[in-house]
């Protein structure tokens, strides 16, 4: 059992010796590689839940927190709770102590006309009151500045620290020099207002964080496992790959797996969004976090821990929330320059008023501190992260998973959408409707040979044939040799000494098989929109099987709505041209790419891109992965394969075509909020800096004391955070698709 030192915020930072995180400066936490169920787990990191920490443990953690920390993973979410609690405590402490500070300050005495008894000089009372506010409540800004300067970067914390330190340090100097003048109240109120702004920002993010935690709460703490032919109960964290688990009615599924024994119905609504329980039998997959409804089953664990579908969902949302949109990257660069402008502006304001205009040092310092404070780009730093947090959380609520902030922003640019047919527009569960035999063969013989040939394929059509053979009570031959999967065209194998070829018309032509005996039947089946599988035995056509794959219930309406929105819709499929055109006719899709081999799907996506269109590809299968990667935005149907989901940038968990439009609407609403926030944050700074510097003071007598500058700066952050939260209003438009 080895000991590692790991960063609570960045679990990828691991080392064998104590130290600090190079990314955030937090003290690395000692942990053992063996997991304990009583702690929160993220990768290889362990952390106690915040509720179980002592006051001293919380205090030590709070001393290493920095502004802008990411809160990914279970440990990260616990840290977010701890940070919110710490910010709240520091805010209320600062607020309460600031009341007597104002009362004893020149502001309270000269402007507010407050007269309190002073057993010692007021300046010393203010020093005693402000010092704990500065070092306790203001510590997060001071420590963040230390870490930023150590990494040779400038951020909002640097400006805040400069402002509060200038006000506090100069006041201390004046107090020791015996002066009654000071800026203690400016330092205290600046800390109070900024903490208030950050508290509001954290509250705006909390809804999504809580939603993610609720997802993880779906996983039961205990699991029933077969060990040594006995049923025992163990912590879910100790379940291993290959373990056989038992599910009884009402149990929550602890990990992902495959049913090995029994039948049941499982409610997957909380994970996939599907409202009706899904029938499960031997060979079917179960998802951790879903609820077993009726039967008792046994299943083998295929994915545990961070590899489960639920963990991947949460991880995807977290990555999205902690990533930066292109607009935010620009804002961050602007903010760095604004830090220089703020500090430089403060120095210029001081120099101009003191050295050029001859103002008293206190007046010059007032303008300098106000300029530095008002220029703080705190709102710029919140502009897009708050919108991204709310947007990705809203998407997750509706089973739309967006992998990063860049994707969330780019989805709004989609102009053309290429839709895979099977499994995307159709149910992906075709049923055999017709079996026609020629050449002296019977339907039963045809089905048996077809089913035997298809047993080594997992294509939906193969499964339909096998299901139909079983339904008819046919015994499927088991002597299968030389199986060959002919990608996009069919399959072939030797069954009981016969060479069986199953596939498309094109495959038959390529193999020089004459299909004339079936020509009329083939044309009739294709005109009905059915998918056909032609069988050839020992080089001669033997019959045809047809399957119908029902179009998804709301696919036609979803496509109509997308077209009304100005989107160009195309359908791509490996199906026969006539079948594809019939399905396209049903759905109102005019642009059809049919008889497309899997390896060629990406070419058709590229064709649309070459036409100058920002293109999305929507698919669910392994053969869709290259096209998903080629597209500007790859969208995977959640019921599809892991490969498709890994390749895509957006995952639709409900497999609902309408969710494509929902994702686009969500993106547009989020981008609008980003732009609004960036405008309010930047225009505020540009307009307020000259006023704070005293440009209007000589002629109009208008000035901003540091504490009022701090209030206005905090109000801009609050406006930005509140505006982001208003994104929840977009939920109505998502539902109404």
Q: What is the pLDDT of residue 44?
A: 36
The dihedral built from the CA positions of residue 683, 684, 689 and 690, taken in this order, carries a sign that is positive
The single residue of 420, 549, 575, 632 carrying the catalytic annotation is 420
Residue 656 confidence (pLDDT) above 70: yes
Q: In angstroms, rounded to a whole number, what is the distance separating the alpha carbons of residues 511 and 514?
A: 9
Q: What is the pLDDT of residue 402?
A: 85
Q: What is the pLDDT of residue 461?
A: 82
User: Around Cβ 78, how many Cβ atoms within 10 Å?
Assistant: 24
Tens of pLDDT along 660-706? Answer: 999 999 999 998 988 888 888 777 667 778 888 888 888 888 887 77
Highest mean pLDDT among 93-97, 179-183, 680-684, 701-705: 93-97
Q: Which two tokens stand for residue 736?
A: 């109404």
Residue 114 confidence (pLDDT) above 90: no
Helix (H) or strand (E) holding 285: strand 285-286
Residue 426 is given by DSSP the state B
Tens of pLDDT along 239-250? Answer: 889 999 999 888
Q: In angstroms, rounded to a whole number, what is the distance separating the alpha carbons of residues 273 and 640?
A: 14
239 close to 223: Cβ distance less than 8 angstroms:
yes
Q: In angstroms, rounded to a whole number, what is the distance separating the alpha carbons of residues 101 and 182?
A: 11
* Average pLDDT score over residue span 458-486: 85
375 close to 333: Cβ distance less than 8 angstroms:
no
Mark whether 332 is an active-site residue: no
Tens of pLDDT along 271-305? Answer: 655 556 778 888 888 888 888 887 889 999 998 87
Residue 338 confidence (pLDDT) above 80: no
Residue 545 confidence (pLDDT) above 80: yes
| pLDDT: which is higher, 588 or 710 | 588
Confidence band for 127, pLDDT divided at 50, 70 and 90: very high
100 close to 188: Cβ distance less than 8 angstroms:
no
Tens of pLDDT along 339-380? Answer: 777 778 888 999 999 999 999 888 888 888 788 777 766 666
Q: What is the pLDDT of residue 582?
A: 86
Tens of pLDDT along 223-272? Answer: 899 988 888 988 888 888 999 999 988 888 999 999 999 988 887 765 65
Residue 598 is given by DSSP the state G
Show Cβ contacts of residue 716 under 8 Å, excluding neighbours closer than 6 positions.
Answer: 378, 379, 680, 681, 684
Show Cβ contacts of residue 76 under 8 Å, excluding neighbours closer than 6 positions.
Answer: 8, 9, 42, 70, 318
| pLDDT: which is higher, 98 or 113 | 98
Q: What is the pLDDT of residue 272?
A: 59
Can you tell me whether residue 38 is helix, strand or coil?
Answer: coil
Residue 35 confidence (pLDDT) above 60: no
pTM: 0.67
Q: What is the pLDDT of residue 43?
A: 36
| pLDDT: which is higher, 91 or 620 | 91
User: Around Cβ 516, how many Cβ atoms within 10 Å?
Assistant: 8
Find the length of the chain.
Answer: 737
Q: Which residues pair with 569 in a beta bridge?
A: 417
Q: What is the pLDDT of residue 41?
A: 40
Q: Which two tokens stand for residue 320?
A: 């999205």
Q: Which two tokens stand for residue 329?
A: 């990257």
């Amino acid at each position: 059992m080895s000991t590692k030192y790991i960063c609570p915020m960045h679990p990828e930072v691991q080392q064998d010796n104590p130290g600090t995180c190079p990314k955030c400066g937090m003290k690395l936490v000692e942990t053992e590689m063996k997991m304990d169920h009583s702690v929160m787990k993220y990768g290889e990191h362990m952390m106690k839940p915040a509720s179980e920490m002592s006051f001293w443990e919380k205090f030590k953690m709070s001393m290493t927190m920095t502004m802008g920390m990411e809160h990914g993973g279970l440990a990260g979410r616990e840290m977010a709770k701890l940070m919110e609690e710490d910010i709240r405590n520091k805010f209320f402490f600062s607020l309460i102590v600031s009341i007597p500070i104002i009362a004893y300050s020149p502001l309270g005495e000269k402007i507010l006309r407050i007269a309190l008894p002073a057993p010692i000089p007021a300046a010393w009372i203010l020093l005693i009151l402000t010092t704990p506010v500065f070092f306790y409540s203001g510590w997060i800004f001071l420590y963040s500045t230390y870490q930023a300067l150590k990494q040779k970067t400038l951020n909002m914390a640097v400006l805040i620290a400069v402002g509060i330190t200038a006000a506090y340090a100069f006041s201390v100097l004046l107090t020791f020099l015996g002066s009654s003048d000071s800026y203690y109240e400016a330092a205290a109120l600046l800390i109070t207002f900024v903490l208030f702004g950050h508290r509001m920002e954290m509250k705006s993010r909390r809804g999504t964080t809580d939603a993610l935690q609720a997802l993880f709460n779906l996983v039961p703490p205990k699991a029933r496992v077969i060990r040594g032919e006995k049923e025992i109960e163990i912590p879910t964290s100790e379940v291993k790959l290959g373990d056989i688990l038992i599910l009884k009615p009402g149990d929550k599924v602890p990990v992902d797996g495959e049913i090995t024994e029994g039948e049941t119905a499982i409610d997957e609504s909380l994970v996939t969004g599907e409202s009706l329980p899904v029938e499960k039998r031997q060979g079917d997959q179960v998802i951790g976090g879903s609820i077993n409804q009726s039967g008792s089953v046994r299943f083998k664990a295929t994915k545990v821990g961070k590899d489960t579908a639920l963990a991947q969902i949460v991880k995807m949302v977290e990555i999205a929330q902690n990533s930066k949109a292109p607009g935010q990257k620009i804002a961050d660069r602007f903010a760095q320059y604004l830090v220089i402008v703020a500090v430089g502006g403060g120095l210029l304001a001081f120099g101009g008023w003191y050295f050029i205009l001859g103002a008293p040092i206190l007046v010059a310092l007032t303008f300098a501190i106000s300029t530095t404070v008002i220029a703080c780009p705190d709102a710029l730093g919140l502009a897009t992260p708050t919108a991204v947090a709310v947007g990705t959380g809203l998407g997750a609520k509706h089973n739309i998973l967006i992998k990063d902030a860049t994707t969330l922003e780019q989805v709004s640019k989609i102009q053309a959408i290429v839709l895979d047919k099977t499994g995307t527009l159709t149910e992906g569960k075709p049923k055999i409707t017709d079996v026609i035999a020629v050449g002296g063969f019977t339907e039963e013989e045809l089905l048996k040979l077809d089913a035997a040939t298809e047993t080594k394929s997992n294509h939906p059509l193969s499964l339909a044939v096998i299901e139909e053979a079983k339904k008819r009570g046919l015994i499927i031959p088991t002597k299968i040799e030389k199986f060959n999967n002919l990608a996009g065209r069919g399959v072939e194998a030797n069954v009981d000494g016969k060479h069986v070829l199953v596939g498309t018309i094109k495959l038959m032509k390529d193999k020089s098989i004459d299909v004339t005996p079936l020509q009329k039947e083939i044309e009739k089946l294709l005109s009905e929109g059915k998918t056909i599988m032609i069988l050839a035995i020992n080089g001669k056509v033997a019959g045809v099987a047809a399957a119908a794959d029902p179009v998804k219930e709301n696919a036609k309406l979803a496509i109509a709505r997308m077209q009304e929105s100005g989107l160009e819709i195309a359908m791509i499929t490996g199906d026969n041209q006539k079948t594809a055109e019939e399905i396209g006719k049903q759905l109102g899709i005019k642009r059809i790419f049919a008889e497309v081999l899997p390896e060629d799907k990406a070419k058709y996506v590229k064709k649309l891109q070459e036409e100058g269109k920002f293109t999305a590809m929507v698919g669910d299968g392994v053969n869709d992965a290259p096209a998903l990667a080629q597209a500007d935005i790859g969208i995977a149907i959640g019921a599809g394969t892991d490969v498709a989901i890994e390749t895509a940038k957006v995952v639709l968990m409900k497999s609902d075509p309408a969710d494509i439009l929902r994702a686009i609407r969500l993106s547009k609403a989020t981008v609008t909020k980003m732009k609004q926030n960036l405008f309010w944050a930047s225009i505020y700074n540009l307009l307020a800096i000259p006023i704070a510097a005293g440009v209007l003071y000589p002629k109009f007598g208008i000035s901003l004391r540091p504490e009022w500058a701090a209030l206005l700066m905090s109000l801009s952050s609050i406006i930005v955070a509140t505006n982001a939260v208003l994104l929840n209003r977009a939920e109505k438009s998502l539902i109404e698709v």
